[in-house]
Amino acid sequence: LKFRLKGYVEFSKDITLLESKIDAIVTKEINTLLFKRGVPKGKKGAKITRWRLKGNKLMLTIEGSRYLRPHDALLRLRTFFTERVGKNLKIGVRAIFIKDYSIQYLPSKKPEDKVEVRVPWIKELRVKDNELLVKLQNLDASAIQNRYVERILSRINEKIQAKEYIGKSERWELLWQSPKKEIAWDKDPTEEMEKRGWIKRIAAGEWLHTPIPARLMRTMQEIVRLYLLEPLEFEEVFLPKMVPLEVWLRTGHMPGSANVFYYVSRAKKWSLNEWEDLFDYIKVTGQIPSELLKEKLTAPIGGMCFAQCPPFYWFFEKKLVPDDELPIKVWDSSGTSYRWEAGGLKGLERDTEFHRIEVIWMGKKAQALEIKDQLMERYEYIFNNILDLEWRKAWVVPWYMEQAGETDFEEKKEIGTVDFEAYLPFRGSRENSEWLEFQNLTVAGTKFSEAWKFKTTSLREVWTGCTGIGLERWMIAFIAQKGLEPEEWPTKFREIVGKLPREIKTI
Ligand code: ATP
Ligand code: ZN
Ligand code: MG
């Protein structure tokens, strides 16, 4: 590692009166004492190699090593001068600032192509002499204190690792597969339901469901209640559906899914006076002036429910959970979820607005894993004996590991995601078509309890897990295999669904 920093210490007054003393201060007090502190014997610490007084600034070049990085040396200088000139001369240190900072090192993995990290503090990033050269600029005291330098270096490292990871084929491992089922139907459920007027698209990926599909999805929910939530004693909660961005900052969904959220803004000013021009414009033109409207709104303060469980972990922030209160088992189905799926939108199996039951549990590690097994067993019963589906289970890399570019999954198999996939005959053959992930189950280990800093009263770690049951996806998986005619449906399902409501007819 090679470090070279150019910057300055700024004082509250002109310090040219120090002109005659500064050389001695730098060589005798700083380089030989202050910058040697804590550095192992025989190793290089940091050193001011050039200095110059200019008005109320001390301009500096600092070279450093891994034992004392120049930006940490600069923080030391601030304290040093506060004491040194503050007491005798009544001069304060007003600021410290890095104008240019070059760091050259051998990265743990060599980048295969150009790495880019786009933040204003990076001036240049390139390979030089087989090493990585990072040139930083304009870092002030708060940037240094908040460890931007370290965070920039780890972000670069993360990107190098991620490039490596994306190159390999996706991590997907078949765990179990049901026997083949006779194919009763091979039509696209969305198209057929649209033809019958059961559903109608109001916007991309957003549908109105008339009584029949509503009944089908409620039946799915009823099956989950009867065969999973009640026997396993999960309790219902209502989780907030408009999520403050800070919550996602903790889970990593922000920035991980920043391009998929629906963001929420509100009026900058509440007073109707401020909206008068918009009213006038609409009354006169009959149109909505979207640019004008945009000006009246705040930057996004939150987003619409995306993953459902995050606000539940937030509830436990910095709390201790009594050991004998664990495990905690809840479910939420109090509102819709929203995602911008862009080009992926086609049928009901991928929506902008969708309905999902989110099942969440937390406990000690053994409890969390036991609940996972119980849930898996219940799911198998439902898919095999009630819905009679052709489906399979696969272990996949959880979203947060994928985004962090992690590659060592093998020893992490206890943690991770199981995708449940159903064969959709209308998409083609079993072998060559994409199966539908109709739900999944994740054991997240301590990811969320660490993010929100909660433990048990005996100070043991808390493991969490969640499983998202997509009602549209259950319905599509079922209809795609069984068709739209109730007589063709499995008996157990028919008992629960009852007599279907009448279609709403229009001409
Ligand atoms: P996919 O890979 O199909 O996009 P995902 O991995 O993004 O799914 P998760 O984020 O794990 O899905 O969400 C959990 C569950 O929520 C899914 O298994 C599915 O049932 C449901 N779900 C997710 N996105 C949608 C969507 N756009 N439309 C309908 N249901 C969805
Ligand atoms: Zn979840
Ligand atoms: Mg997705």
**53-93: per-residue pLDDT in tens?**
999 999 999 999 999 999 999 999 999 999 998 888 899 99
Residues linked to residue 58 through DSSP beta bridges, in sequence order: 9, 53
Q: Where are the alpha helices (DSSP H) in 404-489?
A: 447-451, 471-482
Minimum CA distance residue for ligand 1 atom 22: 470
Cis peptide before 327 (omega within 30 of 0): yes
Q: Angle, nearest 10°, between helix axes 211-224 and 471-482? A: 110
Question: In the prediction, which pLDDT does 399 show?
Answer: 73
What average pLDDT does the structure give for the chain?
94
DSSP string, 217-284: HHHHHHHHIIIIITTTT-EEE---SEEEHHHHHHHTHHHHTTTTPPEE--BS--SGGGGHHHHHHHHH
Cβ distance 473 to 341 under 8 Å? Answer: no
Task: Output the CA 444–ligand 3 centroid distance in Å.
Answer: 18
Complete edge-to-edge strand list for the sheet that includes strand 263-264: 242-244, 302-304, 263-264
Give me the sign of the Cα torsion angle 31, 33, 39, 42: positive
What value does the mean pLDDT take over residues 210-214?
A: 98
* pLDDT for the residue numbered 167: 40
pLDDT in tens, 244-264: 999 999 999 999 999 999 999
> Do residues 331 and 357 lie in contact, with contact meaning Cβ atoms separated by under 8 Å?
yes
Pocket test for ligand 1, best of 257, 350, 392, 417 (most atoms within 8 A of CB): 350
CA of 397 relative to ligand 3 center, distance in Å: 13
Report whether pLDDT(411) > 60.
no
Tokens in use for 27? Answer: 């060589």
Retrieve residue 177's tokens: 């597969």
Q: How far apart are CA 329 and CA 361, in angstroms?
A: 4
The rounded percent of the chain whose pLDDT value lies above 90 is: 87
* Residue 306 DSSP one-character state: S
Looking at residue 40, the DSSP 8-state letter turns out to be P
How far, CA to CA in Å, does 232 sit from each of 356, 361, 372? Answer: 19, 11, 11
Inform me whether the pLDDT recorded for 133 exceeds 80. yes
Neighbours of 482 (CB within 10 A): 21
pLDDT of the residue at 424: 98
Cα 341–chain centre separation? 16
Provide the pLDDT for residue 109: 85
Provide mean pLDDT across the span 288-294: 98
Confidence of residue 117 (pLDDT cuts 50, 70, 90): very high
Dihedrals phi, psi of 131, to nearest 5 degrees: -120, 175
Give the ligand with the smallest distance to the CA of 472.
1
Burial class (CB in 10 A: 0-12, 13-18, 19+), 221: middle
Between 301-310, 408-417, 497-506, the lowest mean confidence (pLDDT) is in 408-417
How many A from CA of 39 to the centre of ligand 2?
Answer: 46
Question: Which residues form the catalytic set?
Answer: 309, 339, 341, 350, 358, 419, 437, 440, 466, 473
Question: 435: CA distance to ligand 3 center in Å?
Answer: 14
- Tokens 């918009």 belong to 278
- C-beta of residue 307 within 8 angstroms of C-beta of residue 250: no
Interval between CA 250 and ligand 3 midpoint (Å): 20
pLDDT of residue 407: 57
The residues with which 201 forms a beta bridge, in sequence order, are 207
Residues with CB under 6 A from ligand 1: 339, 341, 350-351, 354, 356, 437-440, 468, 470, 472-473
Q: Is the dihedral of CA 155, 161, 164, 166 positive or negative?
A: negative
Looking at ligand 1, which atom is closest to the CA of residue 345?
A: 27
Which pLDDT score, from 0 to 100, does residue 434 have?
95
Q: Which two tokens stand for residue 241?
A: 């559906």
Identify whether the C-beta of residue 317 lies closer than 8 Å to the C-beta of residue 454: yes
Antiparallel, parallel or unpaired: β 122-128 and 172-177:
unpaired
Strand, coil or helix: what is 328? strand
More confident residue, 37 or 88: 37
Q: In the predicted model, what is the mean pLDDT of residues 367-390?
A: 98
* Whole-number pLDDT of residue 404: 59
- What is the structure's pLDDT at 164? 59
- Kindly report the protein residue whose alpha carbon is nearest to atom 21 of ligand 1: 470
- Per-residue pLDDT at 225: 98
End-to-end CA distance of the chain: 76
Residue-wise pLDDT for 138-169, tens only, equals 999 999 999 999 999 999 998 888 765 554 45
The ligand 1 atom at the shortest distance from the C-alpha of residue 470 is 20
308, 356 Cβ separation under 8 angstroms: yes
Q: For the ranges 94-98, 175-179, 193-197, 343-347, which has the lowest average pLDDT?
A: 343-347
Q: What does the pLDDT look like over 351-370, one tens digit per residue?
A: 999 999 999 999 999 999 99
Count CB atoms within 10 A of the CB of residue 111.
Answer: 18
Mutation to probe ligand 1, out of 393, 440, 443 (largest number of atoms < 8 A from CB): 440
Comparing CA positions, the residue from 415, 428, 397, 401 lying closest to residue 461 is 415
The pLDDT of residue 405: 56
pLDDT in tens, 418-472: 999 999 999 999 999 999 999 999 999 999 999 999 999 999 999 999 999 999 9
For the stretch 226-238, pLDDT in tens is: 999 999 999 999 9
Q: Nearest bound ligand to CA 396?
A: 1
Residue minimizing CA distance to atom 5 of ligand 1: 437
What ligand is nearest to the CA atom of residue 476?
Answer: 1
Rounded distance, CA 138 to CA 143, Å? 9
Q: Distance, CA 344 to ligand 1 centroid (Å)?
A: 12
